[in-house]
Amino acid sequence: MTEGGKTGPLAGLTVIEMAGIGPVPLAGLILSELGAEVIRVERLNAGIPFLPTPPEFDLDRHGRGVLEIDLKRPEAIELLLRLIGKADILVEGYRPGVMERLGLGPDITFARNPGLIYGRMTGFGQDGPLAARAGHDLTYLAYSGVLHAIGPRDGKPVPPLNLAADYGGGTMFLLLGVLAALFERQKSGKGQVVDAAMVEGASMLAAPFFAFLAAGFWKDRRGVNLLDTGAPFYDTYQTEDGRHVAVACLEPQFFAEFARLLPLEERFAAAQYDRRLWDDMRAAIAARIGERTRDEWATLFEGTDACVAPVLSLEEAPNHPHNRARGTHRQAGTLVRPAPAPRFSRTPAQLSEPGGGRADPAELLARFGIDKSDTEALVMSGVVGNKLTAPIR
C-alpha cells in the first residue's frame, strides 16, 4: 500500500478499523491523527446509526477512508482479506466469535499476514463467564469495583461519563496493546492477538487504589477517603453565583496557601489532616466560598499554588487563557474539539478536518494494489458501496 502523504510518528502504518461505537472509533481517530492510514470498514446498508451525527461532527469517521462492503458476501470477505494482507494492524470491537463467523478470525488473517497485529476490544474479554454479555461503560465499571468508589458519602455511585471504562480502560489500553505488539514485532517478525477488555483496563487504572486499600490507607466506602470527596481540601464547592470551584490542596504547603488566601481559621489551618475537624472544616470552607462568585475566586487564586480552579463547562474550557495559549482545542470546520495529544517535537500529529467530499472506492482500494476494473466489478455486483468517504485530512 502506498502512503497517503500523512505525517506524524505513525506515518507509514496501515490500520483496518472494523466499524463500531465506543472505544474502537476513538482509537481509530487517535491512530489516524498520529499519522497512520486508517481504513474504516462499515457494513453496506447498515441502517440508521445508534447516534446519528452530522458529518462535520462525526469523529467516528474523520481522518479515515470509509469503505462500505456487504459482509454477508464471500467476495467481500475475500476483499477484506486482501486488504488485511497488506495492513499492519486490525482493530475490532465485536462480541467474541463474530469475526470468526465472518471468516475473519485470527487464524485466517494470520495465514494471510503473519505479522498482523490483531486488536480485539470487548467489555469482558475473549473468554470467561461474561464474555458474551452485552454491556456499556457503566456495566464494566461496576464489575471493576471502581464505580462503587465514585460518588458522595451519603449518595449512590455516580457514572464518570463514559471516560473510565470505554475510553480510559478501553481505547487507551487497546492502543497501548497494539503499539506494544507492534514494537515486539520488530524483534520477532510475528504478529499476535491483543485481547483488550474494558473491565480489565478500568481495573488496571485503579491499581493504586487496590494498593491503598491493602495498605490500610483507603476504606472500601465512598466519600470517606482522601481523593473521593472525603477530605474537605479535595472537593468541589458551590460559589455565590451557583457555579463551582475545585479545591485540591493535598500537600501541606499548598493547603497553607489556600488557608491563608481563603482565609481559613487557624484551628483548621494548623490541623489539615485531623479527621476530627473535617466536617467543621468543610462547613467553614463551603460558607466562605459561597460568599463570592466562581470567577472572583478564580482571580484570587490565579498565580498561586493553592490548587484552586474554576470548574469550567465544556463550552468554556476552550476559551480559558491557558488552553488558548497551548492550543488545547482546535477548530475543525465548525467543530471545536480537543487537539491531538500528546505532542511530538519532530513529528507532530495532524488534526483531522471534516469535509473532503465523496470519492470513488477505486481511490482507496488502489492503495492496496487493487486495480480499478476489479473495484468496478465489486461495485457493480453490490459487494462494495458505490461511494466512500474520502480520507479526511
Q: Which residues are catalytic?
A: 136, 166
Helix axes 207-215, 198-205, angle to 10 degrees: 50
Cell numbers 474494558: residue? 198
Alpha-carbon gap, residue 259 to 316, rounded angstroms: 28
CB 90 within 8 A of CB 109: yes
Count the neighbouring beta carbons within 10 Å of the beta carbon of residue 265. 14
Cell representation of residue 87: 495492513
